[in-house]
Amino acid sequence: MNKIPFLDLRLEKGDELDSILSSIKKVLVHGKIINGPEVIELENKIASFCNRKYCVGVNSGTDALYMGLKSLGICQDDEVITTSLSWVATANAIAMTGAKPVFADIKNDLNIDPASVERLISKKTKAIVAVHYTGRVCDIDRLRKIVDKNELYLVEDAAQAFGAEYRGHLSGSFGDVACFSMNPMKVYAALGEAGLVLTDDRAVYDKLTALRYNGTVNKEECLFPGLNGRMDTIQAAVLLQRFEKVFQIIEKRRQNAAVYHELLKDYVTVPGESNDETHVFYTYTIQTDKRDELKQYLENHNIETKIQHPILMSAQVPFIDCRRDTLKCAKRVVNNILCLPANEKISKNEIKRVCNRIKEFFQK
């Protein structure tokens, strides 16, 4: 049996490869290699798609988070509450501002638990970074209430959730600042590193455009120290080319998830979705207390799976002394999660093959 890969980043020969190559060629011909006209076009397109006033293209999702937090004035002695289950970039971006990440528990849906956030608020708390984990919008209504009541900032880490919706509103439209990653693994993917920051606040926008290029205005005058996080024009051109396709990708991932749901719901805990939301399934993450055995069994049958992420951020070396809730749910769940191959290139037959193996595993 051929291998079912978790992800396959090769471009399909033909239309996709040709259209991408011609959009890259345009950039090479006009020669504005960094922060060129395609970056501005992309910023405008995503700002209007997410119904935001401003969008700033940056070099990665990590940069987007770091600069987003900096633009809100987050700095040393501040505390920023976030989830315990995410890619470590979320906690790193907080720590790199000088602030302390504080780790909240999650719920069974793998997203941050607002009740845990409330328990962690202190005089030093300045912001909450809300991750839409696996491509599902987190409990944003309750987080917004907590943020307003305590006069905090809400930052969305929407790296995994481009196109996800909650009650008719898109991810990226909720936070004082919202951040996307367009790295090649994401649902809306560039062919290299790329990220975006969204906001409605003019002052935050001005700060972001300076932060993106060594803290400068007019390319020369430096107002504060900063790094270089500008976006490659080629990546913006690729993203513009792929913008139309991303909705087909999301639709295909949702169909794949529906097939998995039907075939697996009696064997493992499958991801949920309520009527008033659209999950984009960056990952299709199941939960089972036989996770490690199942992963090995599937590997033996040429099916690649991934654990995203096997180490809680709160358990990573730089963060072991950070303040946290009990993390009762997170500590259990992190040993049970497994991401199945569910991307848009996987066929229905391949999904059935994965499901048959999983059934076989549990019937033994």
Ligand X SMILES: *Cc1c(COP(=O)(O)O)cnc(C)c1O
Question: Which run of H or E residues covers position 331?
Answer: helix 328-333
- Indicate the residue among 84 and 160 with the shorter CB distance to ligand X: 160
DSSP annotation of 323 reads -
- Indicate the residue among 92 and 241 with the shorter CB distance to ligand X: 92
As measured in angstroms, the least distance from the Cβ of 210 to ligand X is 20
DSSP 25-87: HHHHHH---BS-HHHHHHHHHHHHHTT-SEEEEES-HHHHHHHHHHHTT--TT-EEEEESSS-
Contacts of 179 (CB under 8 A, 6+ apart): 61, 64, 65, 68, 155, 156, 157, 158, 159, 195, 196, 197, 198
Closest residue to ligand X: CB criterion: 61
CA 63-65-71 angle, to 5 degrees, is 95
CA-to-CA distance for 167 and 170, rounded, in angstroms? 8
Question: Residue 10 has which token pair?
Answer: 């090769």
Please give the residue ranges that form the binding site for ligand X (CB under 6 A).
60-62, 86-87, 89-90, 131, 157, 159-160, 181, 183, 193, 195
- Indicate the residue among 204 and 339 with the shorter CB distance to ligand X: 339
CA-to-CA distance for 78 and 101, rounded, in angstroms? 9
Length of the chain: 364
As measured in angstroms, the least distance from the Cβ of 190 to ligand X is 9
As measured in angstroms, the least distance from the Cβ of 64 to ligand X is 7
CA dihedral angle for residue 139, residue 144, residue 150, residue 155, rounded to 10 degrees: 90
As measured in angstroms, the least distance from the Cβ of 181 to ligand X is 3
As measured in angstroms, the least distance from the Cβ of 43 to ligand X is 16
The answer to whether the beta carbons of residues 92 and 70 sit under 8 Å apart is no
- Indicate the residue among 131 and 294 with the shorter CB distance to ligand X: 131
Question: Residue 267 has which token pair?
Answer: 């064997």
Amino acid at 191: L
- Indicate the residue among 282 and 361 with the shorter CB distance to ligand X: 282
CA-to-CA distance for 293 and 300, rounded, in angstroms? 11
Contacts of 221 (CB under 8 A, 6+ apart): none
- Indicate the residue among 84 and 264 with the shorter CB distance to ligand X: 84
- Indicate the residue among 65 and 346 with the shorter CB distance to ligand X: 65
- Indicate the residue among 159 and 204 with the shorter CB distance to ligand X: 159
